[in-house]
Amino acid sequence: MVLPCAGAGTRLGLPFGKELLPLGPGSTPLDETLALLLPHATALRLVMVLGPGREATARHVIARTAAAGLPVAFTTQRPELAECTGAVLSAQPWFAERNIVLLPDQVLRFPVADLIGRALDALDDAPFCFLAARENDPARISRDGALLTTGGAPARLADYAEHPPLADAGRFNATWFGFAFRHDASEALSLVHRAVTGGPVTTADVAASPLAGCPVIETGPYLDLGTWPAVRARWTDHTEKEQEALL
């Protein structure tokens, strides 16, 4: 399990990592991510990729994982490897046979049963899989990692692009929340990294790669807490759930 926490979070302007942003009493984006992992603590090991000044993040993770018995290691992002996928590649010496990547500023709006177990199981028959939510808003698709998926259980990947032009966004129908990969899927991981860092990735590139036809595990809707409108939406979600609990 690789969790990149090395980004500067400049869009929020926080004096600490956005993974520690308060979402409600005793809850942060990092806590919500760990809640997905801890039921599988005995089958996972967690590699945190940290940037400068993330000592509070490290202490938070140690406090939350110690009782569950989840092994945790920390490393730093290599300066020549940019973006979240660069953080993942910086953890390559610690890759396991099966690996899951979640981003600590993305949180699900509704619980998903055994999401981590389903992603690990998908790697039995494929070298790579995406965790994704259905999406029909072209503006969001253009901002995020865009997928074109086919029907089925699980769905399958037909095409992929990072930040496609708005005019092209309508042909995609999902955005990715995370991904999982086998140790031997370096070609797929390199292609995703190239796309995330703004390099050219065509439909033909995807079709010729291990990404073609890979499983897509549906997560349900999620929020990318890298912007204040999304943070306010998450705070609204929390308030509404508290009010429902009191009824």
**Which of 75-79, 97-101, 149-153, 187-191 shows the lowest per-residue confidence on average (mean pLDDT)?**
149-153
Residue 225 within a domain: no
Q: HSE (CB half, 13 Å, CA atoms) of 220?
A: 9
pLDDT score, position 244:
57
pLDDT score, position 101:
97
pLDDT score, position 247:
53
pLDDT score, position 139:
94
pLDDT score, position 228:
81
Alpha-carbon Rg for the chain in angstroms = 17
**Which of 89-93, 121-125, 205-209, 226-230 shows the lowest per-residue confidence on average (mean pLDDT)?**
226-230
**88 and 152 in a common domain:** no
Which residue range(s) make up the domain with 78? 1-100
If you average pLDDT over residues 152-174, what whole number do you get? Answer: 95
Helix, strand or coil, per DSSP, at residue 100: strand
Task: Give residue 242's pLDDT band: very low, low, confident or very high (50, 70, 90).
Answer: low
**Mind giving me the DSSP string for 25-57?**
TTB-HHHHHHHHHGGGGGG--EEEEE-TT-HHH
Number of domains in the chain: 2
What's the token pair of residue 164?
């496609």
The closest of 230, 243, 239 to 103, measured between CA atoms, is: 230
Residues 23, 238 contacting (CB under 8 angstroms) = yes
Q: Please say if the pLDDT value at position 227 is more than 90.
A: no
Output 205 or 244, whichever has higher pLDDT: 205
If you average pLDDT over residues 195-202, what whole number do you get? Answer: 96
Residue 203 contacts by C-beta under 8 Å, 6 or more apart in sequence? Answer: 159
DSSP tag of 24:
B
If you average pLDDT over residues 162-185, what whole number do you get? Answer: 96
Residues 180, 116 contacting (CB under 8 angstroms) = no
Residue-averaged pLDDT of the chain: 91
**126 and 198 in a common domain:** yes
If you average pLDDT over residues 40-62, what whole number do you get? Answer: 94
**95 and 21 in a common domain:** yes
If you average pLDDT over residues 225-243, what whole number do you get? Answer: 75
Rounded to the nearest angstrom, the gap between the alpha carbon of residue 53 and the centroid of all alpha carbons in its chain is: 22
CATH label of the domain that carries residue 25:
3.90.550.10
**92 and 22 in a common domain:** yes
Residue 127 within a domain: yes
pLDDT score, position 241:
61
If you average pLDDT over residues 71-99, what whole number do you get? Answer: 96
**198 and 129 in a common domain:** yes
The last residue of a domain, from among 100, 133, 168:
100
Task: Give residue 41's pLDDT band: very low, low, confident or very high (50, 70, 90).
Answer: very high
If you average pLDDT over residues 167-194, what whole number do you get? Answer: 96
Rounded to the nearest angstrom, the gap between the alpha carbon of residue 165 and the centroid of all alpha carbons in its chain is: 22
In the chain, DSSP assigns E strands to 2-5, 46-50, 72-76, 98-102, 106-108, 128-134, 145-150, 155-162, 174-182, 215-218, 222-224
Which ranges of 51-169 would DSSP assign to H, the alpha helix? Answer: 55-65, 83-90, 115-122, 138-143
**Which of 18-27, 51-60, 64-73 shows the lowest per-residue confidence on average (mean pLDDT)?**
18-27
**182 and 132 in a common domain:** yes
C-alpha 82/C-alpha 147 separation (Å) is 22
pLDDT score, position 26:
81
C-alpha 136/C-alpha 215 separation (Å) is 20
The last residue of a domain, from among 52, 69, 100:
100
**211 and 190 in a common domain:** yes
Task: Give residue 230's pLDDT band: very low, low, confident or very high (50, 70, 90).
Answer: confident
Residue 76 within a domain: yes
Output 111 or 162, whichever has higher pLDDT: 162
Residue 234 within a domain: no
Residues 132, 216 contacting (CB under 8 angstroms) = yes
